Amino acid sequence: MTDSKRASIALRNKGAWAGFTLVEFLVAIGIIMVLISMLVPAINRAREVARATQCKNQLRQISLAIHGYHDAHETLPPGYIDSPGAITSSVESGWGWYAMLLPHLDQQPLYEKIDFHDGLRRTKWDSGDVDGLTNNLGNQSAVAIDLPSARCPSDFSPTLIARIEPGLGAISYATTSYAAMTGPEWMSLPCRIPGVLSEEELDVSEFGQCELPGGAFFLNSRTRFVDLTDGISTTLLIGEVSGKLDHIEDAPSLPSGLSHGGSHWARVSDPVLQEHVLTSTHERVNRPSIGTYSPGLSSGHPGGVQCGFADGSVRFLSDEIDSSETAPYGVLQHLSTIDGEEAIPSF
């Protein structure tokens, strides 16, 4: 046998015996699992950073749109509109602040599709006289259009929710992750709006006059930047309300499968349900859901929420920001007023 053949046989025999023992294999698998367990959180954090950055950019675009609206109309958009106020059904009106910003958010075609003079119904005219109402199918389809720019990527709540409208049945509403700030308290509704209609015409003598909630946005509001005497850099205009949805067991009056929490970009489904388009700072940031909706500012970001201020900036407010539900309030509540004359410390 030649030397080359002996070497070849030796190599084959060596290869036949080469390999991992069971212990070595298990150790290798364990090391790989540890590395994966270390890598997955890092990947998730990187993804959340990307989502938070996109969410921040969307809030900044909305803030710029608010400035564009003010330049065009010399007022901020109303929180939402209803005529003559929180008395009649919002199937006749109820359009919110975001819907009015659509031309400033590259959504002119959708804006032109909406008939802001009506809600989900249209007034019928017969020979110049009102002859009842008919369904406004264009508006009904518009409120169901999902706008990615109106949703934070970290918000994993449903994009559509169904609500019961009087005489119309279930209507699908597209949800949003952002709401306009109404102040440290909610506006007390229903109420009478001075100078709109008399008590006799409204037949609502039991309701008091509407009291302003302290923030920039509310029912039929017309706030101007000059009204923000607290300073535009310390006045909240918009914030995250991601996942403002509740559980059906909290709403026994609704048919099975329908949810009645959540915020819409388009409009309120009832004139007294302000939280459909607005939010307040009455509750602390990211307070767990209670009752029929998650009150106040909330987000899918760990540790806080992102908010837009009147100067166009977007800042992150921590869960730990000073907050108090009652006067004299905390820093969070002071940030949501427009003319409270508070001295705001760093936040």
Inform me whether the pLDDT recorded for 14 exceeds 70.
no
What pTM does this model have? 0.81
343 class by beta-carbon count within 10 Å (0-12 exposed, 13-18 middle, 19+ buried): exposed
| Mean pLDDT (whole number) for 296-308 | 91
| Cβ atoms of 200 and 323 closer than 8 Å | no
pLDDT tens digits for range 66-92: 999 999 999 999 999 886 555 556 777
> How confident is residue 2, by pLDDT bands cut at 50, 70 and 90?
low
Of 278, 282, 285, 290, the C-alpha closest to 316 is 285
Of 281, 91, 47, 52, the C-alpha closest to 186 is 281
Tokens 């602040």 sit on residue:
97
pLDDT tens digits for range 254-297: 333 334 457 899 999 888 888 899 999 988 898 765 554 556 89
| Alpha helices (runs of H) in 189-322, residue ranges in sequence order | 199-202
According to the model, what pLDDT value does residue 259 have?
40
According to the model, what pLDDT value does residue 248 have?
37
> How confident is residue 249, by pLDDT bands cut at 50, 70 and 90?
very low
State the DSSP H helix or E strand holding residue 73, giving kind and residue range, or none if neither: helix 22-73
Of 184, 177, 182, the C-alpha closest to 322 is 184
DSSP secondary structure code for residue 268 in this structure: -
Query: 299: which residues sit within 8 A by CB, 6+ positions away?
Result: 152, 154, 155, 177, 240, 242, 243, 286, 305, 306
According to the model, what pLDDT value does residue 5 have?
58
Please state, in angstroms and rounded to a whole number, the distance separating the CA atoms of residues 292 and 290: 6
> How confident is residue 31, by pLDDT bands cut at 50, 70 and 90?
confident
> How confident is residue 21, by pLDDT bands cut at 50, 70 and 90?
confident
For 319, the token pair is 């869960």
State the DSSP H helix or E strand holding residue 169, giving kind and residue range, or none if neither: strand 169-174
Please state, in angstroms and rounded to a whole number, the distance separating the CA atoms of residues 174 and 147: 8
Q: Which residue has the higher pLDDT, 327 or 8?
A: 327
Q: Is the peptide bond before 84 cis (omega within 30 degrees of 0)?
A: yes
Mean residue pLDDT of the chain comes to: 81
Domain residue spans of the chain: 42-335
pLDDT tens digits for range 101-143: 999 999 999 999 999 988 898 876 555 555 567 888 999 999 9
Please state, in angstroms and rounded to a whole number, the distance separating the CA atoms of residues 347 and 343: 12
- The share of the chain scoring above pLDDT 90, in percent, equals 42
Q: HSE on the CB side for 167, CA within 13 Å?
A: 11
Query: 74: which residues sit within 8 A by CB, 6+ positions away?
Result: 224
Considering only CA atoms, give the Rg of the chain. 28
Please state, in angstroms and rounded to a whole number, the distance separating the CA atoms of residues 192 and 240: 30
